[in-house]
Amino acid sequence: MQKAKVYVTLRESILDPQGKAVTTGLHKLGFDEVQNVRIGKFIEITMDGGDESRVTEMCEKLLANYVMEDFRIEMEPGK
């Protein structure tokens, strides 16, 4: 059993309204040092076999929207 961690983030050029709302929220709470917030997804996949190329395929087919999002994969050996 092994684990893959996938980080899906909006591309730099894409507006992030959820992040903007959180920035405003943090400012209202007094965190004035916050300049910008961007929110992505963190996906943990537990797999029975398979390697990074399989996870890349999963990202391309389902997990990430390639038009708007980038993804990064980290493989973790299983216990």
Which residues contact a second copy (rule: CB under 8 A)? 1, 7-9, 22, 25-26, 29, 31, 33-50, 54, 57-58, 61-63
Whichever of 40 and 67 has its CB closer to a second copy, that residue is 40
State in angstroms the smallest separation of the CB of 59 from a second copy. Answer: 11
Whichever of 61 and 79 has its CB closer to a second copy, that residue is 61
Cβ atoms of 73 and 55 closer than 8 Å? yes
Cβ atoms of 34 and 76 closer than 8 Å? no
State the maximum Cα–Cα separation within the chain, in Å, rounded to a whole number. Answer: 47
- Count other C-beta atoms under 10 Å from residue 30's C-beta: 7
Whichever of 13 and 50 has its CB closer to a second copy, that residue is 50
17: its two tokens: 């309204």
State in angstroms the smallest separation of the CB of 67 from a second copy. Answer: 19
